[in-house]
Structure 1
Amino acid sequence: MNPQSTLTGYELLRSPQLNKGMAFTQAERLAHHIEGLLPPCVRTLELQVARVHSELSHLDNDLQRYLYLSDLQSRNETAFYATIMSDPSRFMPIVYTPTVGEACQKFDHVYRGARGMYLPISARGRVKELLQNWPEDDVRFIVVTDGERILGLGDLGVGGMGIPMGKLSLYTACAGVPPQFCMPVVLDVGTNNHELLEDPLYLGLRHERVRGDDYYAFVNEFVESVQALFPKCCIQWEDFANFNAVPLLNRYKDKLCTYNDDIQGTAAVALAGIFGALRISGQKLAEQRFLFLGGGSAATGIAELISEAMTLEGLTIDQARARHALFDVHGLIEKSRSDLADFQKPFAVDHAPLNSFVEAVKALRPTGIIGVSTVPKLFNQQVIEAMSEINERPIIFPYSNPTSRSECTAEEAYSWSNGNAIFASGSPFPPVTLHDGRTFVPGQGNNVYIFPAMGMAVYATEAKRVTEEMFIVAAKAVAEQVTDESLETGLIYPPQAKIFDASLHVAARVAEHIFEKNLARVPRPDDIESYIRERAYKPVYST
């Protein structure tokens, strides 16, 4: 129990931060006036977690399990995190991708109760006042979305709240960021999803999205209000449409502690996968050529971070960028096109137009293809076979989420490449056994390897900024933890079952960089890794 708490009776049992449920001792029940409000037996946290495991096993599908765990989080935060952290590889796909996508789509129909902060544009001029309603005075992390581009599912309006809630749960479960410092936020500026606007159960503003100066003024009011109320807060932008995501990141990245996980986190986890892949192929980063399926901010963000990493091997930034090409719905992004956004232009190639992705593979001869299109099955058999003809060990990364949007499955990539593909995907796939008996363990290029660790590093150091270099450091720290035994099975990421230790290792590496660059607000400790571990949240009941 928190000795500062004055809650008693039902108020105590309804506080997710302080509630222990059946783990309250007899002495605590007497002291806090909850005798008789619970069955008489006392149960340990370990027994509570075992009971949760049992209940979940009897539910029919992962959406039901997601909702059960959400309810548990609202009742007993410690038991929720103890459950997630007891088996992270099992529970991450439930509390986040791919299940969170379905939960966001059905958000208005399965809404249970208040969690997170909803800031409607109708409250413009009063955003700071609304933020002051949050129950915590010290917020260190905000994950914010406007719900326009949720995973690969599109505009879900306020239903996008499932993403910030899920991300922040993983900040805690995967890297130990204390949950009391986290705030999920939706900026409700309307929705262009007419099915939602016509749904009587839709919970958001019932008008089309506000654009232009009014939109940016509202976002700026949010940012300024956060800085005024929570000066140590890091803002993570999540699932904004490309035409807003890039300008917002560029506007704020040099002014406050902020980053965009879709752009920079995705880039870092892709770079980590490439570092792992190169340990299998034995090649150098500067020798690689990548073709992206998708031309949005995720693709350009990955391409830019790889380019910056290539400069560390001697290339100029222009030489490095020239080793990447993008392919979108209109074909190859090449210099004669007149429809390119500014953020795409550095990667426009000097090449004749191409409207077939497999033809682009044959013409540009990439060593790796990276899918961030959110369009399924575009890495078809012809594409995989073409990559296999060009490369002894082709890199195949279908990163689109959720699983239904993946550009190909693990089985397809391994089968069509005769087991030669170096594979990682955005969504999880089970191990694959080929007809010759070889078994491969596909890696999941999940941002969970990056953003929780980044959050822990920022929290522990009270960093003033998040820089591109920090993501390169994080990518290397992820890759260096992959064992030779894992690489032999094709696994190029650390096992998710050990995500907590992996994240703390990454956080320590990033924190070391933060101290070296004088971006920390706290003194440098003698032992950074121990310093990080001491500050990590542990799901135990206080006494």
Structure 2
Amino acid sequence: MEFRRLHPLLRLASRPLLSSSRRFSVYDDEMEQITRPDWHVVMNGKYNKGLAFTIKERQRLGIMGLMPCSVRSMDDQMNAALANFEARPTDIARFTYLSAVHHRHRRLYYRFIKENIEKSLPIVYTPTVGDVVATYGLNFQQAISLFISIHDKGHIRDLMHNWVDEGVKAICVTDGGRVLGLGDMGANAMGISLGKMILYTALGSIPPSTLMPVCLDVGTDNQALLQDPLYVGARIPRVKGPEYDELVDEFMESAVKCFGNNTFIHFEDFATPNALKFLEKYQYKYCCFNDDIQGTGATGLAAFINVERITGRKLEDTVFLFVGAGSAALGIANMLAMELEVRGIPAEEATKNIYLMDVNGILTPESPNPPEMGKIFIKSMEPMKDMMAVLKKLKPSVLVGATGVGGIFNEEVLKTMAKNHERPAVFPLSNPTANSECTAEQAFTHTEGRVLFGSGSPFPPVVINGKRYRPAQANNCLTFPGIALAAITAKARYLPNEVFSVVSHELARNTPQELLDEGTLFPPIKDAHNVAFNVGVAMTQYLIDNDLSNVYPKPDDICEFVKRSLYKFDYRNSLPTTWDYPVEPPTPKPKTKPKTKPKE
């Protein structure tokens, strides 16, 4: 794909002098000689600095007088943004305010999220993103993403040529098949792709102009959406079968043809059968990644490694029970099995203590239609559907919930875990908060504060008998920004499963010992930016060392190599660099030939 490569400021200077609305009725020769940039471009969110434009910049860019004369620093603007953010009465109102900041002041927006991540993460990501998806049509205002519908089949490259930024290096794509615990959300799922890409920049420091959020709109089987007059997607039943597969194939082929073979493609919130199918199909053909399977798997394994560090019980001697057998549970369980094999445990032994339950109970040879990735966990035992019966029989010390069903880890379940183990580990991973299998307060209360806890949704601290407990959040934002950073920086050819083991161990190492001593399994969210960088460096090192990178020659210092690619969160000079030239001597006048007399 061909893009214009003009410097942004040169593009500004190349625009018409003045639009007809800005011309004066009286001719002024002096003013007519002045070239003025298009103020709409200067005020575009990509370039706009608001009151941080210096007086010199305002004068040179032709915007002097279009704003008050005061000049604010970035810190001043950050304080104003925080005051506005906190003044909003609801989380949706805060999301709307931040979206407006993104439209007006992109660099300020990303720095605000980075430096206020504990306050802003629940707004731009889970749990508020669930409300954003549910009301996407109601709040849709402008296109900042790429929608590809089933009706565009055969023309996806044409759509990609319409994209607003050049140099795309990463794409987050969803088809809305299974969004959080909300189910099929069709085209509304674009809110998820946008939320992921916001964190690519805010936490992974990946330049936003290199990112493209995509929704494959193949219809929806959600009748409430089909009957909603404000729904923005195709009002047709969800397309399945060969036509659907061909659309995804065309999307993948078009992405690398338009943006290059190293384009990183992140699959998000596809229904489990499709997520597994496309991961198997594309993993070694493209530089692609499924966050629901591999990102969740890496995050979960990091938690288990820290459980091992706290309890002293080896993973191979631990009994794990996964309640739910969707993409999240399968991703974590398979990552755990791979870790055990790396430790020298034979394959048939590695899965011995890993049990999966779906709606039909423990996976056994009698289970109907077990997922392909779950077959290695099938146990030759009597079918058991009741969770309490399973807990009493197996006595797992690690309980993982990925069901989307709120409250199923009830008081009896939690007290049983506490009865069987001194430090039980409980992971209610379902999002949004209403779908969490239990709350942090329930988990700590019913285990007398002994639980090792990690949830998908954020929960406030819990106080029991005067002691304060900080619930850890098993949030993929601790892994996927670093994974994306490494894949882009290293120009990864493909991402084998072993890469995500590196991610898990690096994330576990980033949890300070003082937090482990308190029973906290993950680093605090406020450190997510540093964690993303460390994960990115470790994974980049692995990709380059194992010939999975297209970077040549090999960098001498991987850390510095990664740093050079990072997005800068500070304002810089908006004017092109100028420099002095020596004064040239006067141009010599051409010599005139003497006139010759005409011959007589």
Question: Do Structure 1 and Structure 2 share a fold, with TM-score over 0.5?
Answer: yes
Q: Distance in 2 between matches of 1:331 and 1:468?
A: 28
Q: Deviations over 1:209-245 (max 9, x none)?
A: 0000000001101000001011121110000001111
What is the CA-CA distance between 1:539 and the residue it aligns to?
1.1
User: Which residue does 1:167 correspond to in 2?
Assistant: 196
Correspondent of 1:58 among 55, 78, 87: 87
Question: Residue type of the partner of 1:11?
Answer: H
**What whole-Å deviation, never above 9, does each CA across 1:133-156 have from its counterpart, x for those lacking one?**
012232111000001211111111
User: Partner residue of 1:341?
Assistant: 371
For residues 415-474 of structure 1, what are the alpha-carbon distances to aligned partners after superposition, in whole Å with 9 as ceiling and x for unaligned? Answer: 111111111101111111112x22211110000111000011112111111121111111
Show the counterpart of 1:453. 482
Residue of structure 1 in register with 2:300 after alignment:
270
CA deviation string 1:156-188 (max 9, x = no partner) = 111101111110110111121111111000000
- 1:327 is paired with a residue whose SS is strand
Counterpart of 1:71 in structure 2 is: 100
Query: Which of 353, 368, 382 pairs up with 2:383?
Result: 353
Do the aligned residues in 1 keep the contact of 2:166 with 2:209 (CA within 8 Å)? no
Which entry has the higher C-alpha Rg, 1 or 2?
2
Would the aligned equivalents of 2:307 and 2:521 in 1 still touch at CA under 8 Å? Answer: yes
In structure 2, distance between residues paired with 1:385 and 1:449:
30
CA–CA separation in structure 1 for the residues paired with 2:139 and 2:238: 24
Q: Is the CA contact 1:376–1:408 (under 8 Å) kept in the aligned structure 2? A: yes
Q: Residue type of the partner of 1:448?
A: C
Of 459, 473, 495, which residue of structure 2 is paired with 1:466? 495
1:364 aligns with 2:390: no
Q: Map of 1:334-413 to 2, 5 A cutoff?
A: 334-413=364-443
SS of residue paired to 1:304: helix
* Structure 2 counterpart of 1:478, one-letter code: L
Q: 1:41-440 alignment to 2 at 5 Å?
A: 41-231=70-260, 232-435=262-465, 437-440=466-469
Q: 1:360 offset after TM fit, Å?
A: 1.1
Amino acid at match of 1:24: F
Q: What's the CA shift string for 1:103-122, capped at 9, x where partnerless?
A: 11000001121111000110
SS in 2 for 1:535: coil
Once residues 5 and 54 of structure 1 are traced to their aligned partners in structure 2, the CA distance between those partners, rounded to angstroms, is: 35
Partners of 2:250 and 2:89 lie apart in 1 by: 44
Match of 1:6 among 7, 12, 17: 12
SS in 2 for 1:392: coil
AA aligned to 1:440 is: Y
Supply the distance in 1 between the matched residues of 2:120 and 2:9 (Cα, whole angstroms): 32
Counterparts of 1:282 and 1:3 in 2: how far apart (Å)?
Answer: 59
Distance in 1 separating the partners of 2:189 and 2:378 = 32
The amino acid that maps onto 2:12 is: T
Cα deviation for residue 24 of structure 1 reads 1.3
What is the deviation of 1:338? 2.8
Out of 53, 56, 59, the position equivalent to 1:24 is: 53
CA spacing shift, 1:4–1:287, aligned 2, 3 Å: farther
TM-score (norm 2): 0.88
Distance 1:494 1:91 in 2: 17
Contact 1:108 1:201 in 2 (8 A): yes
C-alpha distance in structure 2 between counterparts of 1:419 and 1:4, whole Å = 62
Q: How far is the alpha carbon of 1:40 from its aligned partner?
A: 2.3
Q: Aligned AA for 1:246?
A: L
CA contact (8 A) 2:360 2:367 kept: no
Match of 1:481 among 475, 493, 510: 510
Match of 1:500 among 522, 529, 536: 529
Measure, in 1, the Cα distance between the counterparts of 2:451 and 2:325. 23
> CA 1:42–1:2 in 2, change beyond 3 Å: closer, same or farther?
farther
Amino acid at match of 1:283: R
CA contact 1:439–1:489 (8 Å) conserved in 2: no
Contact preservation (8 Å) 1:236, 1:261? yes
Aligned to 1:514: 543
Q: Which moved more, 1:531-540 or 1:46-55?
A: 531-540
**Secondary structure of 1:250's partner?**
helix
Deviations 1:26-85 (A, max 9, x none): 221122221222222222221111111001111101111011111211221101011111
Three-state SS of the structure 2 residue aligned to 1:144 is: strand
Q: Judge conservation of contact 2:219–2:236 (CA < 8 Å) in 1.
A: yes
Q: Which amino acid aligns with 1:222?
A: F
What's the offset of the Cα at 1:3?
Answer: 4.0
Name the SS for the 2:372 alignment partner.
Answer: coil
The SS at the match of 2:373 is coil
Q: How much has 1:350 moved relative to structure 2? A: 1.2
Work out whether residues 63 and 103 of structure 1, in 8 Å CA contact, stay in contact via their aligned partners in 2: yes
In 2, distance between residues paired with 1:340 and 1:482?
A: 35
Q: Contact (CA 8 Å) 2:42, 2:61: kept in 1 or not?
A: no
C-alpha deviation, 1:271, in angstroms = 0.6
Q: What secondary structure does 1:119 align onto?
A: strand
Aligned partners of 1:388 and 1:421 also within 8 Å: yes
Shift of residue 319, structure 1, vs aligned partner = 1.5
Aligned residue for 1:175, secondary structure, equals coil
Q: Secondary structure at the match of 1:343?
A: helix
Corresponding letter in the other structure for 1:61: T
TM superposition shift of 1:12: 2.1
Shift of 1:2: 5.0
Q: Which of 198-207 and 322-331 deviates more?
A: 322-331
Distance across 1 between alignment mates of 2:347 and 2:147: 41
* Residue correspondences, number: 542
SS class of match (1:355): coil
* Partner SS state of residue 486, structure 1: helix
| SS in structure 2 at match of 1:274 | helix
